[in-house]
Structure 1
Amino acid sequence: MLSMHSLLPRRLYGFMGYRVFSFLFDWSDARWERALRNRMFQFAPVYVSAESMRWWLGRECFATQKCVLATREAGRLEDEEDAADDREDRRANDSDRDKHSSHPAEEDAEGGRGRWAWYAPPFPPLALWVAGSDNLVDGRRLLRRFERGREPHVRIVHSKIIPEYEHLDVIWAVDAIEKVGREVRDVLWMTAAGREGCRIPIGCEGVGALVGEREGEGGG
């Protein structure tokens, strides 16, 4: 793609880029500014390593394992644990469900669900905006992994699922500023160190400092 970038007319390159990726990943431009679509795809390609290409295209890699950070077997065990949790939640009453929701954390302390953690300490505070209709990245599953105690060293400071968003909508949708951008600004200010010596960013006058385990959680 980088080679063709210097050969094709800009408009044709952007048009073909969208068609290729729409075919491969079933994306749509329903929430993009149509007049800017070709321009955005002109700057989309980046250099990737041979190892990265081998992972995505090799027969023994993603096609077999289905996850960058875990094997297919580990994913199967995780699905079984999640299914068992869901069955337990359906049987529990409200008070029992509150008790059950704390159980993964107890297992973490004993080295249970955290035994296959992907992220080691120290890990920075993490904020997630999940595209709910993304067919390339399973953000819901990643968020569920955090919520069910499989990453004991990760602190989620903000999470939000946007059901209608596809893979690139978090940066290219016409309403991305309202649904994502302003919240990114708030989370950065909320988690900033040395706030007392900084000027308050415009729009963050009512944003407090990070307190507790989780702040600014969005709905989904």
Structure 2
Amino acid sequence: MALTDDVTSCLIDNNKLFKDIIYTAQYTATSANHLGYNDSSKHNSSSNSSNSSNSKPLPPCFDLKDAYRTQAFATTTVPHDIENPSVKRIQRRLVDKFLLTMRSFISSLLSLPILALLVSVAIYKTTVLHLQSSGDQRHHSMDEKKEALDELLSQDETYYIRRWGYACDTHQVLTPDGYILKMHRIYKKGPPEPSQGAKDTKKKPPVLLGHGLFQCSGAFVLNEEKSLAFMLVDAGYDVWVGNNRSIAGFGHISLSHKDHEYWNWGLKELGVYDFCSMVDHVKVHSQVDKVAYIGHSQGNAQAFVALSLCPEIADSLSCFIALAPAVYAGELVKNFPLSLLIGLNDWFYTLLFGNGCFLPIMSVAQQIIGPKIFCFMAYSMFSYLFNWWDHHWLRRRKAKYFQFTPRPVSVRLISDWISGWGRQGVLLYVQSPPPPPPPQQQQDGYRATSMTTTTVSSMPLPLSAVGSKRKLPLVVFYGTADYLVDGQKFVEKVQTCNPFPMLDLVHVERLEGYEHMDTIWGHDNHITTYPIILDQLSKVSYP
């Protein structure tokens, strides 16, 4: 990859610094392993004990600040292409190789028939549902007839960025534990448009977009010219879309994705390492002190994890917009087949799925099966499992969506979701808030809120202490038909016994009839969601 002029000019001077960063990342992961930090401290007795006992230890937030935050800025002075071509698989004894191979074989032997059965049932139920609703009137029928005939089906999000008149730079970010993340910075093609005034000459602050579980940054550029990322670019913001580890490549400075050690990560690493690394990277490249963050589903969950474990990250954020906040579980966790997965014995869960990539057959199928056939299979499976459908989508876009969904994740990550969100009803690593005060105390200590919403009446918010540090504005969007997560419960918890004291809930948007994916893929987002996002971003004050 060709180096930009600014990178080339400082590469020689910063060669030693780059080596220090690599050493720091290796030291952080290795020393933590030797020191015996245990990542199972946040798990209760119902957590996946087999995974926790074998999980890669994670250093505490103190180590993160000392070993990473003080040096993270230096990654901006090294080449974007920092993958290590010399990475080799871990050398093992013949007996160990045999045991690992047998475990993988047994997991595949057990999981593949179950997956095939679930896909068959999902296809049947999805087909019946569509036949029953075939006579329904779709309010967006005119948009359905609009065909993007010159748009290809691709698994490269940069293609769609270019196709709709934008350009992007690809960045690679090194995490403290050695993973290499891929980010895209999106901007308009060609020379800047002539400004109409002095205020228009300065570009607006940066906005970072975070994707959900099994997804990638492509989720924000697939709605053609009405995509969320493009809307923000058109509004003048410095737009970045990020990818978690393993999502846009298996880059690591010392581990191969063919070894199970590579996959030894979960929600904590996504929050404390990936999220914080991307925020710091954007700050440096955009030359700002704060970044606005918009996260969908797991994209906001990992930010909540970071705020819970490392609350100092709030100082790096100017605004936090949570689309379909994935903190409290919806009613869907009580229904089959999710209830069956959540109720699995810990030992059997590990036997069934192994300790590496979660159901890697999904990524293989995505590569070898035709896009439209795979779209039908994947949509049937995900809608059956998670109860999100295409009622608010343009169906012609579905084949694009499932070229970017699913993406590889770790077995341990799914175990973390099961341990907290599935079994306890609340996101793992989020501190349990104290009980709400008695009614009389609420009346004395609370005031009317400035929060606005188009569908819900104003509700009381806690009164901030006089002279206290300015809190991070939080904006929440959730759908009334989202049964995967409970947005209403999250809003009520934040208003009464806030588990995130550094957040100030300033706006809640309750979207009637919206399901889990509709806040980013809905055909009418440019009416229901985007104007409110822009309005809230415009109210953010920067130092």
What's the TM-score bracket when you normalise by the shorter of the two chains?
0.5 to 0.7
Find the counterpart in structure 1 of residue 511 from structure 2. Answer: 162
Find the counterpart in structure 1 of residue 410 from structure 2. Answer: 49
> What is the identity, as a one-letter code, of the residue corresponding to 1:152?
P
> What is the identity, as a one-letter code, of the residue corresponding to 1:189?
S
Find the counterpart in structure 1 of residue 423 from structure 2. Answer: 64
Any idea what the Cα deviations from partners look like across 1:140-187, whole Å, max 9, x if unmatched? 111111111424321123221112110001011111111111211222
CA distance in 2, matches of 1:104, 1:191: 19
Find the counterpart in structure 2 of residue 174 from structure 1. Answer: 523
Runs ≥4 residues deviating over 4 A: 96-104
CA distance in 1, matches of 2:534, 2:422: 37
Deviation at 1:11, TM superposition (A): 0.6
Give SS of 1:44's match: coil
Find the counterpart in structure 1 of residue 462 from structure 2. Answer: 105
Pair 1:70–1:101, CA change in 2 (3 A): farther
Q: Which structure is larger by alpha-carbon Rg, 1 or 2?
A: 2
Pair 1:126–1:43, CA change in 2 (3 A): same
> What is the identity, as a one-letter code, of the residue corresponding to 1:105?
P
Compute the TM-score of the two structures, normalised by the length of structure 1. 0.62
CA distance in 1, matches of 2:396, 2:538: 33
> What is the identity, as a one-letter code, of the residue corresponding to 1:170?
T
Kindly report which structure 2 residues correspond to 1:97-136, keeping only aligned pairs within 5 A, or say none.
Answer: 99=444, 101-102=446-447, 105=462, 124-136=472-484
Give SS of 1:134's match: coil
Deviation at 1:48, TM superposition (A): 2.2
Note if contact 1:132-1:163 (Cα within 8 Å) is conserved in structure 2.
yes
Deviation at 1:98, TM superposition (A): 5.9
Note if contact 1:135-1:166 (Cα within 8 Å) is conserved in structure 2.
yes
> What is the identity, as a one-letter code, of the residue corresponding to 2:527?
E
CA distance in 1, matches of 2:471, 2:501: 10
Deviation at 1:38, TM superposition (A): 2.2
Give SS of 1:68's match: coil
Q: Name which of structure 1's ranges 165-174 and 148-157 shifts more when overlaid on structure 2.
A: 148-157
Find the counterpart in structure 1 of residue 540 from structure 2. Answer: 191
> What is the identity, as a one-letter code, of the residue corresponding to 2:425?
K
Aligned residues: 166
More strand by share: 2
* 1:7 equivalent in alignment to 2:368: yes
Note if contact 1:125-1:154 (Cα within 8 Å) is conserved in structure 2.
yes
Give SS of 2:506's match: strand
Note if contact 2:416-2:428 (Cα within 8 Å) is conserved in structure 1.
no
Find the counterpart in structure 2 of residue 209 from structure 1. Answer: none
Note if contact 1:105-1:152 (Cα within 8 Å) is conserved in structure 2.
no
Any idea what the Cα deviations from partners look like across 1:31-52, whole Å, max 9, x if unmatched? 1111112221221223323321
Note if contact 2:519-2:525 (Cα within 8 Å) is conserved in structure 1.
yes
Any idea what the Cα deviations from partners look like across 1:37-93, whole Å, max 9, x if unmatched? 222122122332332122234xx554421211478xx58x85xx5xx97xx5xxx9x
State percent identity of aligned pairs.
25
> What is the identity, as a one-letter code, of the residue corresponding to 2:483?
N
> What is the identity, as a one-letter code, of the residue corresponding to 1:9?
G
**Counterpart pick for 1:18 among 379, 382, 388:** 379
Pair 1:191–1:65, CA change in 2 (3 A): same
Pair 1:185–1:104, CA change in 2 (3 A): closer
Pair 1:149–1:61, CA change in 2 (3 A): closer
Note if contact 1:18-1:38 (Cα within 8 Å) is conserved in structure 2.
no
Note if contact 1:128-1:159 (Cα within 8 Å) is conserved in structure 2.
yes
Deviation at 1:10, TM superposition (A): 0.6
CA distance in 2, matches of 1:131, 1:193: 30
Give SS of 1:171's match: helix
Deviation at 1:123, TM superposition (A): 6.1
Deviation at 1:21, TM superposition (A): 0.9
Compute the TM-score of the two structures, normalised by the length of structure 2. 0.27
Find the counterpart in structure 1 of residue 488 from structure 2. Answer: 140
Pair 1:16–1:123, CA change in 2 (3 A): farther
Pairwise CA RMSD:
3.4
Any idea what the Cα deviations from partners look like across 1:167-210, whole Å, max 9, x if unmatched? 0010111111111112112222221527xxxxxxxxxxxxxxxx
Deviation at 1:26, TM superposition (A): 1.7
Find the counterpart in structure 1 of residue 247 from structure 2. Answer: none
Q: Name which of structure 1's ranges 48-57 and 33-42 shifts more when overlaid on structure 2.
A: 48-57
CA distance in 2, matches of 1:174, 1:19: 20
Note if contact 2:481-2:514 (Cα within 8 Å) is conserved in structure 1.
yes
Gaps of 5+ in 1: 110-120, 195-220
Note if contact 2:477-2:509 (Cα within 8 Å) is conserved in structure 1.
yes
Give SS of 2:523's match: coil
